[in-house]
A and B are shown apart, each in its own frame.
Chain A
Amino acid sequence: MPIETAATDRFTLAGREYSSRLLVGTGKYKDMAETARAIEASGAEIVTVAVRRTNLGQTPGEPNILDILPPERYTILPNTAGCYDVETAVRTCRLARELLDGHNLVKLEVLGDEKTLFPDVIATLKAAEELVKDGFQVMVYTNDDPIVARQLEEIGCIAVMPLAAPIGSGLGIRNPLNIRTIVENAHVPILVDAGVGTASDAAVAMELGCDGVLMNTAIAAARDPILMASAMRKGIEAGREAYLAGRMAPKRFASASSPIEGLFFQH
């Protein structure tokens, strides 16, 4: 039997195969050059962008984020960040689809409150329903509630993305048991989206059986974002391999690693 490693184990999303299970955002970087270098170091192949008003006549020739994300190399995942209701989330997705020439993969988030940026799950469910009906392939940000995750899957979302902790908080995985339950119930990819702070958090998410992790601030707000992007890439790979390998059962007491037989002294 061939050994499955993170290198041969592919991530399938919307009928397309990816070798990286790390998805990255493009916000909060110092400039476009740093964004490009961080994405490169992360190895990510799916990259999120936001949709905002164009600057009118202020900075002609200003580089656009899409210029550093060639479509033959990256899958662009537009998000609905900043949307607090169904209507604006759906409008944003339609604009994004037009912007990306009919590309219908979107990351849906409908937020409930500015302090926590927790999802408004009722609005999220409604928006997901409308978008799926309209032909979108919806990857959906939600809380770590297994029931809501199941409902989003039933609606037809192609991936469910529970938060590990509040967006941009870097608090790590606050409720690993719920994430595990969501993974165990799911028939679509489950990705942790938001809350990861460092490489070990990413590894934990993957060890729990998640199909991938989406992050932005953990890389962009590191002292050295390029190095952190590389660390995250390794954390994701290590966690995935550990999950595939199947960890040992934890035991309360010691179990000697060297043989007991053949000792040449009495103890």
Chain B
Amino acid sequence: MQIILNGAATEVADALTMAELIEQLKLGGRRLAVEVNAELVPRSRFSEHRLAPQDQVEIIHAVGGG
């Protein structure tokens, strides 16, 4: 299925969980936060949250800023 990951159309396995996506992106253990379709997905729910086709996934982190 296709999801929109940080603005880019991306092919992933059907019914992939957020935890699996984070693992595949080699982002495990990094300080990040995630929202799907503009709703926050807490870290504690990564393993149960299943992605659906066309989900808009944003993975964010902290950067320098004022």
Question: Which chain A residues have a beta carbon within 8 Å of chain B's beta carbons?
Answer: 25-29, 35, 48-54, 56-57, 60, 64-66, 76, 78-79, 81, 87, 91, 94-96, 98-99, 167-168, 194, 214-217
Contact = CB atoms under 8 A, between A and B. Distances in A.
Given A57-B26, A98-B40, A217-B66, A91 B61 contact: no
Given A56-B25, A56-B59, A57-B25, A99 B31 contact: yes
13 contacts: A25-B65, A28-B64, A49-B63, A50-B66, A52-B63, A54-B60, A64-B30, A65-B64, A94-B40, A95-B40, A98-B33, A99-B32, A194-B66
Given A64-B31, A95-B33, A96-B33, A54 B65 contact: no
A95 B60 contact: yes
B25 to A, nearest CB: 6
A26 B64 contact: yes
Interface string B23-48: 00111001111110010101100000
Interface residues of B, number: 25
A81 B65 CA distance: 8
B18 to A, nearest CB: 12
A51 B31 contact: no
Contact of B62 (A28, A29, A64, A215): A64
A53 B59 contact: yes
Most chain A CB atoms below 10 A, which of B6, B31, B42, B63:
B63
B50 to A, nearest CB: 19
Contacts of A99: 31-33, 60-62
Given A56-B6, A56-B25, A60-B26, A25 B63 contact: no
A91 B62 contact: no
B20 interface: no
A57 B42 CA distance: 22
A64 B27 CA distance: 13
Nearest to A53: B6
A162 to B, nearest CB: 16
A13 B34 CA distance: 29
